[in-house]
Every structure is written in C-alpha cells, then in structure tokens.
Structure 1
C-alpha cells in the first residue's frame, strides 16, 4: 500500500488522524513538542510537524475513506497525480523525531546559497539538500528526497 499526503483544515491534523484511525485507516501525523509563551507562563505543547498535512497508507480503491473525517479537505497532488511518499521517507521522519534535535550538528558555513550538498551527520545522514538561506541564527535547507524545508539552528 502507498502513503498518500492529505491536506486538512487548519488545526485538524491530529483530530483527523484520530478519526481515520478509528475507521481503520493507517495514518501518520508527525508531531513535535514546542514551548509557547503565555502571558504568565511557558507551556509545552504538541503540534504537527507539517501544518495542514498528514499521511495515510491505504489501497488505491479505499482512497475515498479519508473524506469520512470532516477535517480532511483533499489529497495533495504532485505533477497532476496523487502525491505519494515512499516508506523510506516516512521512516526517516520517524527516526528524526525519535532522535530529537541532533540536526544542529550540520554545519554549512563554507557553502553558498543554492548549492547542493549531501548531509553527513544527524538523522538525515546521506540525504541530498539544497541550501536555500543562511541567516544569523539558522540554516534553511531543502531536502530533495521528501521536498520539505529543514531549518537548522546555528550552534
């Protein structure tokens, strides 16, 4: 079975995942912990890694099942076809989230914006990336294999 990318209503990623899981659909919504500042305190919350996106693994004939959740808007398309994510790419995301924030080991100071690089450490080891931006506090990399942007904090 293939992993498809589903676009959800804002703030519905977790609820849609829970609803579809109860219906027997194999879902994955990568979550990260984030500290938010309230007026009187700091609070640790869990938020989706990819806003408005979740992954579903199902047979092609069962693709309409996802619309049983009111939070699902549509499937994501790439080049006119349903966007499909490889099992290996889902595993990379899971491993990265299990390892935590070790991506800060990546150093790209000697590189130029637009240059293609291969990461040699961290959870995305051996992945190809394009340097999109270098700021005072972060490096912004585009991971070619999964088509997402990785923001890495300077050490």
Structure 2
C-alpha cells in the first residue's frame, strides 16, 4: 500500500513543440514536473543565438502518487498528448534515473562554445594526429570543421570535437 509520500515519476508524451506549455499547465494544476533542457547554439537569419531546448523532445516527467493524484486531468491538459503506458498501465520511471539526469544536467558545461572561429587547435586522434590546425566552425553537436595546411595548401577537414584540443 502506498504511503502519503510514496511518489513515483512517470513519463508524459507532449504534443509536438508544446512541451513547455504542457509543463506550465501541469505545474499550475499542482503537479511536480521535470522537463530536462539544455542550451544549444542555433544559426538564425539574425545570426547565432543560444536557445533552450528539451533534452527529450515531446516528453517530460511528472511525479504522481498513485493513491492521491487524480490522473484524469492530465489527459486534457493543454500540450499533453498522453501518458506513456505499457499494457494500458503507466510504468514508473525509477527515481535513480531522474536523479542521474538532474545530476548530469547540473554538471553540464556552460553555454560558452568550446572553440571559437580562428582558435589554434591540435588534433589528438586519427590520421592527422599531432598536427596543428585552425578551428573554423562546429558541425552539429560533435563535429568540428578545421583549416589544416598540408603541402603549403590550406585544406578544410572535419573531425570529431573530442579529437581536438586547444593549442
């Protein structure tokens, strides 16, 4: 039998691009939500811009007590599509998963990019290991575009971000 403090985390599927709206409306109804987000740099018409995006697009976590909480209003909350279920029963997400996510997000680096255009870097891995290059741009979340001089000719190459370090 559940005690008054026996809360479990469950997963909510949100309507496309309405995760923040769903979180706001659920919170206004008194529910405890966890909507993990991260900051990413986006290229817009006006230039580069830092934006906050959900770590899991279209999903958020909600903490409920199986005895006390009325689950029916969740379905009709703006932005909510449905509660994720297995065999028509909501499945609890282990608390250690939520705590691990919270801990990982607290330890995430700041929004400053690791490298800026023009930075001198050294390639640590791969066929160009131990060569120096100039950082040009970041490609996606884990790739870097570098300018490498080979045989007196500058060449653009793409390498994993983890394979370079500041010079």
TM-score of the superposed pair, with normalisation by structure 1:
0.62
CA distance in 2, matches of 1:80, 1:69: 19
Q: State the secondary structure of the residue aligned to 1:19.
A: helix
**Structure 1, unaligned runs of 5 or more:** 102-135, 138-151
Greater percentage in helix: 1
- Residue 73 of structure 2: aligned partner: 65
Q: State the secondary structure of the residue aligned to 1:97.
A: helix
Change (3 A) 1:58 1:153: farther
Pair 1:24-2:30 in alignment: yes
Larger radius of gyration: 2
**Structure 2, unaligned runs of 5 or more:** 1-6, 110-141, 144-159
Q: How does 1:3-18 map onto structure 2 within 5 Å? A: 3-18=9-24
- State the superposition RMSD in angstroms: 2.5
Count of aligned residue pairs for this structure pair:
109
Pair 1:92-2:90 in alignment: no
Whether the 8 Å contact between 2:85 and 2:91 is mirrored in structure 1 is: yes
TM-score of the superposed pair, with normalisation by structure 2:
0.58
- Residue 47 of structure 2: aligned partner: 41
Q: State the secondary structure of the residue aligned to 2:33.
A: strand
Find 2:59's aligned residue among 49, 53, 57.
Answer: 53
